[in-house]
């Protein structure tokens, strides 16, 4: 690994050059939040962002896309939605989100749609500063060791740029003169100080070590019924989660002999029909059962397979769920602590 120095003024010229190679996607403002978009005007890029509304998983598996076109002759694979992209400004938690999805999609039966999109996207990570909802320090996803081509750490007067892959190295070699290989002791000290200050800035901590056991021990705890009663079964938590991968497949036919399409779209385990089989048997009719599945997956099941939770601490469920059902409040409830969340106050404030 090589770490280089880049002057702040040189960033946009660098993006200008590399954006000729592929679509440049970066965080831009949308209302008072942020989204990843294909940017033409670099001044739109927002560097000092926290989480985007939807995680960058949507660039790898779009919410809806066509997998096959079919005619009477058979099925023809459709990879046409996949384009070459450079994803700039992705934070460590979201890079870990993609690494988590890799484990699911690029193993055993390889998902060609995900794999192709993943291979055609360069990851240019960017450092960030936690807000009150970030808890990636608890999931150890505030630092990255792999999964990026370049990574920019924003120090006061310049960027430190990590080269993480051969393709990242190719990007740097497009403008070798603007990158400085000579890091002084002062630069190193500045980085160490930045890291220390950043680590101190976290306000939310969750003890994930105890979660698998607590999920088991508290599986029948009464608070799940409260959570289930309050849940709107809207699926928002799963849409914004960087590690949620569930999808549905539907066939669409068109009039006039046009080829049909086999569409794949995001699905959510919190929706009513998620476990419904033909004939009417629904294995998870109750909202609390569906939420238990989600939290089992995030806090327990993934740990037993891969040794870490399937949560990257991005805080999206904390800012998205309208009734306060999120990893933080559920973890607190599992720990037996008093939880000040809407789902817990519901019977007091609304039912009366």
Partner 1 sequence: MKIENRSLPQANPFTPEAARIVHTYHLTEDVKFYQVRLVDMDKALSFKYRPGQFAMLSVLGAGEAPFSISSTPSRPGLLEFCIRRVGTITNALFRLKENSLIGLRGPYGNGFPVDDIKGKDIVIVVGGLGAAPLRSVLLYCLDNRDQFGDVSVLYGAKRPAEMIFREEYFSLKERGDLDCHLTVDADDTGAWKERIGVVTTLFPYLKKVNPPNTYALVCGPPVMYRFVIKELLKLNIPKHQILMTLERRMKCGVGKCGHCAIDYIYTCLDGPVFTYWDVLHMRELI
Q: Which residues bind partner 1 (CB under 8 A)?
A: 18, 21-22, 67-68, 70, 72, 74-75, 77, 84, 86, 104-105, 108-112, 115-116, 119-120, 122, 167, 170-171, 173-174, 219, 245-251, 253, 260, 262, 267, 269, 274-281, 283-284, 289, 293, 296-297, 300-302, 304-305
325 backbone dihedrals φ, ψ, rounded to 5°? -90, 110
Q: Which is nearer to partner 1, 59 or 339 (CB)?
A: 59
Q: How far is the CB of 75 from partner 1 (least distance, A)?
A: 5
Q: Tokens 């006039």 sit at which residue?
A: 256
Nearest to 93 by CA among 148, 44, 48: 148
Contact 123, 147 (CB under 8 A): yes
Q: Which is nearer to partner 1, 50 or 67 (CB)?
A: 67
Give the span between the Cα atoms of 132 and 254, in whole angstroms. Answer: 49
Q: Where are the beta strands (DSSP E) in 103-256?
A: 121-126, 150-154, 158-163, 179-180, 247-252
Q: Which is nearer to partner 1, 291 or 339 (CB)?
A: 291
Q: Which is nearer to partner 1, 67 or 320 (CB)?
A: 67
Q: Which is nearer to partner 1, 43 or 109 (CB)?
A: 109
Give the span between the Cα atoms of 46 and 50, in whole angstroms. Answer: 10
Q: How far is the CB of 165 from partner 1 (least distance, A)?
A: 9
Residues 6+ apart with CB under 8 A from 263: 64, 65, 66, 67, 249, 250, 251, 252
Angle value at C-alpha 56, between 309 and 14, nearest 5 degrees: 125
Give the span between the Cα atoms of 260 and 256, in whole angstroms. Answer: 11
Q: How far is the CB of 147 from partner 1 (least distance, A)?
A: 13
The SS3 of residue 23 is: strand
Contact 154, 197 (CB under 8 A): no
Q: Which is nearer to partner 1, 301 or 319 (CB)?
A: 301
DSSP string, 91-145: -HHHHHHHHHHHHHHTSSS--HHHHHHHHTEEEEEE-----TT--TTTTT-SS-S
Q: Which is nearer to partner 1, 31 or 222 (CB)?
A: 222
Nearest to 14 by CA among 182, 176, 181, 163: 176
Contact 287, 228 (CB under 8 A): yes
User: In the beta sheet, which residues pair with residue 266?
Assistant: 247
Q: How far is the CB of 11 from partner 1 (least distance, A)?
A: 17
Q: How far is the CB of 348 from partner 1 (least distance, A)?
A: 30
Q: How far is the CB of 22 from partner 1 (least distance, A)?
A: 5
Q: How far is the CB of 302 from partner 1 (least distance, A)?
A: 8
Q: How far is the CB of 46 from partner 1 (least distance, A)?
A: 24
Give the span between the Cα atoms of 211 and 301, in whole angstroms. Answer: 10
Q: Which is nearer to partner 1, 262 or 345 (CB)?
A: 262
Q: How far is the CB of 265 from partner 1 (least distance, A)?
A: 11
Q: Which is nearer to partner 1, 1 or 72 (CB)?
A: 72
């Amino acid at each position: 690994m090589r770490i280089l120095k880049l002057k702040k003024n040189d960033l946009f010229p660098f993006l200008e050059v590399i954006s000729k190679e592929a679509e440049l996607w970066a965080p831009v403002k949308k209302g008072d939040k942020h989204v990843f978009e294909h940017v033409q005007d670099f001044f739109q890029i927002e560097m000092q962002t926290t989480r985007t509304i939807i995680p960058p998983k949507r660039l790898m598996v779009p919410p809806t896309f066509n997998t096959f076109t079919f005619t009477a002759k058979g099925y023809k694979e459709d990879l046409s939605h996949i384009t070459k992209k450079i994803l700039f400004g992705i934070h460590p938690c979201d890079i870990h989100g993609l690494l988590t999805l890799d484990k699911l999609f690029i193993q055993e039966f390889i998902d060609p749609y995900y794999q192709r999109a993943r291979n055609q996207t360069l990851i240019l990570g960017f450092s960030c500063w936690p807000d009150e909802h970030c808890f990636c320090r608890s999931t150890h996803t505030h630092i990255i060791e792999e999964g990026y081509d370049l990574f920019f750490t924003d120090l006061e007067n310049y960027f430190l740029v990590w080269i993480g892959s051969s393709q990242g190295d190719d990007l740097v070699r497009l403008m070798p003169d603007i990158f400085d290989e000579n890091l002084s002791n002062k630069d190193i000290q500045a980085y160490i100080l930045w890291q220390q200050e950043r680590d101190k800035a976290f306000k939310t901590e969750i003890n994930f070590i105890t979660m698998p056991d607590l999920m088991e021990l508290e599986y029948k705890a009464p608070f799940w019924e409260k959570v289930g009663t309050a849940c709107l079964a809207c699926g928002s938590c799963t849409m914004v989660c960087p590690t949620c991968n569930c999808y549905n497949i539907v066939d669409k036919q068109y009039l006039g002999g046009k080829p049909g399409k086999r569409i794949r779209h995001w699905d959510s385990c919190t929706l009513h029909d998620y476990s419904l089989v033909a004939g009417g048997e629904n294995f998870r009719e109750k909202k609390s059962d569906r939420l238990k599945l989600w939290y089992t997956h995030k806090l327990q099941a993934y740990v037993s397979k891969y040794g870490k939770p399937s949560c990257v601490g991005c805080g999206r469920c904390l800012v998205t769920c309208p009734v306060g059902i999120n990893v933080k409040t559920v973890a607190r409830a599992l720990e037996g602590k008093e939880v000040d969340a809407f789902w817990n106050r519901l019977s007091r404030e609304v039912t009366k």
